Amino acid sequence: MTFKSRPVLIVQNDRYNADSRHNYLVVAPVHSIKADDWAKLRRVNYPANLILEAGEGGLTRPSVAFLNQLRTLHKNLTGDLLGELSPTRIEDMDARLAFCLGLL
């Protein structure tokens, strides 16, 4: 059985990402969005979904990060870094994560 690599959004602190003593990352799965679902997702704007446009974070297609489906992933299972989100989008992600985790 072969597995297809999938993009994820790393949501943990950069300090832990860079520290070699920490072998795991906290990530949110990212899925591409079909054209007919794009307008629906933007209209609903569910707080746990971070909608990403093509080009954001190095993604080639419109996508959504499901912040209510956090996972841990060993660093050995990660591939190349696709890109980074802008500071404004990171603030949006942080607010949505706080909502999902009940930190507000």
Q: What is the pLDDT of residues 12-53, one digit of tens each?
A: 988 888 888 889 999 999 999 887 787 777 777 788 999 999
Strand, coil or helix: 73: strand
Domains by residue range for the chain, with CATH: 8-100 (2.30.30.110)
Strand, coil or helix: 26: strand
Compute the distance between CA of residue 18 and CA of residue 57 in angstroms, rounded to an integer.
18
pLDDT recorded at residue 69: 96
CA 2 to chain CA centroid, Å, is 23
pTM exceeds 0.85, yes or no: yes
CA 43 to chain CA centroid, Å, is 20
Average pLDDT over the chain, rounded to an integer: 90
Compute the distance between CA of residue 74 and CA of residue 89 in angstroms, rounded to an integer.
25
Q: What is the pLDDT of residues 54-101, one digit of tens each?
A: 999 999 999 999 999 999 999 998 888 899 999 999 999 999 999 999
Structure tokens that stand for 29 in this block: 């799965």
